[in-house]
Chain A
Amino acid sequence: MTKAIIALMSLIIFSSFTNHEGYHVGDNATDFNLKNIDGKMVSLSSIEAKGYVIVFTCNHCPFAKKYEDRLVKLNKLTSKKGYPLVAINPNDAEQYPEDSFENMQIRAKEKKFNFPYLHDESQQIARTYGATKTPHVFVLNKEGKELKVRYIGAIDDNTESAADVKIKYVENAIEALAENKPVETEVTKAIGCSIKWKK
């Protein structure tokens, strides 16, 4: 057998060990305490709300960039309904300098972010939530004393073109939750940039 075949076979074997951990819909989400672009620490408990739209995102990823303007609009909408948006950048800035804290500050200013943009420097929150890519959304709903995950996935159904969006997944989820109705589509998938984990 050639080297290449052996390498291929080992890929196939290695492939089967992929494992996903993190939250599922219905799980209790943890709060966090992360540094915002203004230098202040932010935790969910410090933001009075019915729930939150947590968006793992970053500066460098073209898929994340496609959503920057849409996030600003989305926050206006969901905040009104009691679900403010909180963005978190979990990427390793050593490998991706564009995703550094300083560049988060610059990008947020350029794009006029109207929501906290937090730095998950230890990557612990992204790991706990089970975020794998940017952008990756987790909608949380306060239920009694608990913070329940009620939606995981994409912002909408068309990354390339905002004008061609047919289904606004996050908006739909928030609309349902605000009316105490069950979320119809609880999990969706979209292509995104893998989160750049520290090596």
Chain B
Amino acid sequence: MIFLLASGLKAQDVIDFEGLQKRIEKQNDTLYLVNFWATWCKPCIAELPFFENASESLRDKPIKVLLVSLDFKSDLERVSEFIQKKQISTEVVLLSAGNPNDWIDKIDPSWSGAIPATVFYKNKIKLAFHEGDYTKNL
């Protein structure tokens, strides 16, 4: 498993929807926890420490946490600086996928498009989807 050690984001970390699907819908026993967030989204940032903690403490388990930034592509630098400043070691990608109306339903039809939102996959199968933050329940 590759961990980005708070090295910021590079152009190759900007992925399209197909790129995202390739990363999270895999035929293996790994549980993928995919969190959609953005640097300007306060409730998203409030729960980042939880995902950080999860990916750190579950390093030896077949669990992979992926933070998918929905910041604008033009703000790549800002996202990169944020990751370095906050020392985020969980893998971060920036999703630049064109018209959201074409892909939001593919993540989950119940997703309105509000963030944060979190989805779980295992063996290409979606186990759960949640729109909103988890802070009240942690």
Contact = CB atoms under 8 A, between A and B. Distances in A.
B131 interface: yes
A15 B128 contact: yes
Interface string B41-81: 11100000010011001100101000000101110000000
A133 B40 contact: no
Interface string A2-37: 111101101111111010100000000000000000
A7 B50 contact: yes
B123 interface: no
A8 B54 contact: yes
* Range class of the B interface residue count: 35 or more
B19 interface: no
Interface stretch (A45-53, A113-121, A141-149, A154-162): A154-162
A126 to B, nearest CB: 12
Interface of B: 31, 33, 38, 40-43, 50, 53-54, 57-58, 61, 63, 70, 72-74, 99-101, 104-105, 110-116, 118, 120, 127-134, 137-138
Interface of A: 2-5, 7-8, 10-16, 18, 20, 61-62, 96, 132-133, 136, 153-154, 157-160, 166-167, 188-196
